[in-house]
Structure 1
């Protein structure tokens, strides 16, 4: 590992694996499933973990190791493991740490697939979840039982971009001896480092801002070494490992994360301000708008507001459908954090598996629109939205 202390952008660019005999400037790809050994003793010692070395790419690979090291430095984490998707990271992290009879306390405002995991799959293994309102952290401690093991949240939330006070949650977790896990996908490690506020583990979908160009699926969990080591041992057996090629792409993408996210945030703030003053928009939420209910908390724990703007179109579901049908430049997709701006209808896509009551409980109305603001010129983004509103 390199010494800590360089600025974020420098670490993102200059954290690289050791050069080979060819003295390449850019890290090469290691598209190999396995690695060879010098002799019988080398093989025995490697499998006995008496030495650190690559054995099999399901366990580790130079490309995934470089990607993990970069994210650890960005987040201030001790260790990490990279996965084939964001949900592979979520599932593997929880499956590693939980046993039958354990209990999770989670924010209601989480990704739809994570909610489905908590409500439909974990109960089959006698693991149950209690939810708290992201707007009322005073209720969190009342949900904690002797069986509670994990405190979990996303901030900003998906899709409503609510902000949870990570420092408050961190103190609650520490007081009760809970493992505090934060999904930091919407912020990226450039805008927010939850470990500073007490998080034990941080999860990312690398598919989003880390890649930033809609090319790959990936996930990563970083944090406390002891916890990550358990996750690693679970993952090397169950096999949800990130591929070397995708790890190589992501490591290269992280070199431009800061400049990309700066532009995402600048565009998003301009768009949010424009929408807030539009007569056909009912409401707008963006963390760095002064009108956002948790604006001060966002400023305390985030560098900027992120790439996602949520809003409601006046006229309800029919007006919202017309808006989506009229979009020309922006993409209709369920992804986010892409260089291309993306318009999503959470009710019919990312959170469609939730009941109407479950969606309404976390502020997802039928007319909600989520825009992941991309890197196009802001005038062109606004022009497309303007014509789509009619």
Structure 2
């Protein structure tokens, strides 16, 4: 952590990440509050008809109508753009709101999209089911094989969608290689950076055009909000914004405020989470009841060198296979006491899911097979608890298998 970021106005010294998340949205000209206010209003008043016309005609105006923008949202967007190194950002009501809005803004009937065989399940459904309904062709490729991306390109390819590390198998995509390939063919790229966070990875630094997040995860950090973020150029953000206000994936003022508060501690939380997860992954590899551990920070990960080259930390999520099958895995997960048996990731609390049990309700057996999810697969999102307590709890649960 600690990479310098330039302030938009250019008059303030470049700030390191820990300072940026505290002061990157300072607005000392408009109010005297230390804690930012919550602009809990659907609409904003104009002083006269000329001002109203200006408000109504300005894309992303922060004080016209909250579906169009909100001063609290603008604060989040400023920090997120600087964290990801993009020109601007746009907040949405959920991570899937960000992904769906971005994708639907960039492609139409007759276009072709390249995506990965491994994506978050709802992203996979957009590629498998939604886009084909609107006449968009989709080719899924093995994300670890850059040649598969190249071979999938067609004259009508408009977009390449990647996710790295991928949910839940933690397979990586070479961001620089995909970005270079796409740009040589005039293709736009989107990277889902949810599993990494901008503290651990900045896809735009490697040439990716657009970075999306489920801000419900690391960015909020406390399992108490639902939000999404799109980080990109001014031109692409305005293009996406026009779709956004039509689809209506709007972030509430309260969730926007909670997200801003969560961002204040993001670097500190990620430092602890990264350390905990690497220690726990190493511990799990040493347990005889564990068949295999998947974590990019481990030397045993087949893409460990790629992880070290494009990531600054390896995140909260550890995937591992329990020896045995579905029933043994269920016993292990049920015996855990500290982590909550709940979906999501990236918060202060550790969370655990038996992945096959979680995804079986929304994915077919064939889709799960393609995604690489066996019956004995566990996804563990490490929180900020003391590492010795986490190790002890896992060791006890393993004895229940």
Instruction: Give TM-score, length-normalised by structure 2.
Output: 0.94
In structure 1, the residue matched to 2:386 is 377
Q: Please give the secondary structure, in 1, of the residue aligned with 2:198.
A: helix
1:115 matched to 2:124: yes
Counterpart of 1:84 in structure 2 is 93
Please provide the CA RMSD for this pair. 1.6
Task: State the distance in 2 between where 1:220 and 1:235 align.
Answer: 12
1:135 is matched with which residue?
144
Which position in structure 2 is the counterpart of 1:300? 309
Shift of 1:318: 1.6
**Residue in 2 that maps onto 1:232:** 241
Aligned to 1:198: 207
Q: For residue 156 of structure 2, what is the aligned residue in structure 1?
A: 147
Structure 1 contact 118–129 (Cα < 8 Å) conserved: yes
Q: Is the counterpart of residue 62 in structure 1 residue 102 in structure 2? A: no
User: 1:97-131: CA deviations, max 9, x gaps?
Assistant: 11111111011110001111111121111112111
Secondary structure of 2:362's counterpart equals coil
- The partner residue of 2:263 within 248, 254, 271 is 254
1:386 equivalenced with 2:384 (yes/no): no
Q: Does 1:284 align with 2:289?
A: no
Say whether the 8 Å CA contact 2:111–2:137 is kept in structure 1: yes
Q: d(CA) in 1 for partners of 2:133 and 2:245?
A: 24
Q: Distance in 1 between matches of 2:318 and 2:186?
A: 35
Give 2:102's match in structure 1, choosing from 90, 93, 100. 93
Question: In structure 2, do the counterparts of structure 1 residues 163 and 351 end up closer, same or farther at CA, with 3 Å as the change threshold?
Answer: farther
Which residues in structure 2 correspond to 1:206-217 (within 5 Å)? 206-217=215-226
In the alignment, structure 1 residue 171 sits paired with structure 2 residue 180 = yes
Task: Give 3-state SS (helix, strand or coil) of 2:366's partner.
Answer: helix
* Cα offset, 1:21, TM superposition: 6.1
Given the alignment, which residue of 43, 46, 54 partners 1:34?
Answer: 43
Secondary structure at the aligned position of 1:13 is classed as helix
Which residue of structure 2 aligns with residue 181 of structure 1? 190
The match for 1:354 is 363
- Conservation of the 8 A alpha-carbon contact between 1:346 and 1:352: no
Secondary structure of the 1:152 match is: strand
- 8 Å contact kept, 1:205–1:219: yes
Partner of 1:74: 83
* Aligned position for 1:105: 114
CA distance in 2, matches of 1:354, 1:50: 38
Q: 1:350 offset after TM fit, Å? A: 4.0
Gaps of 5+ in 2: 1-7
| Cα drift, residue 355 of structure 1 | 2.6
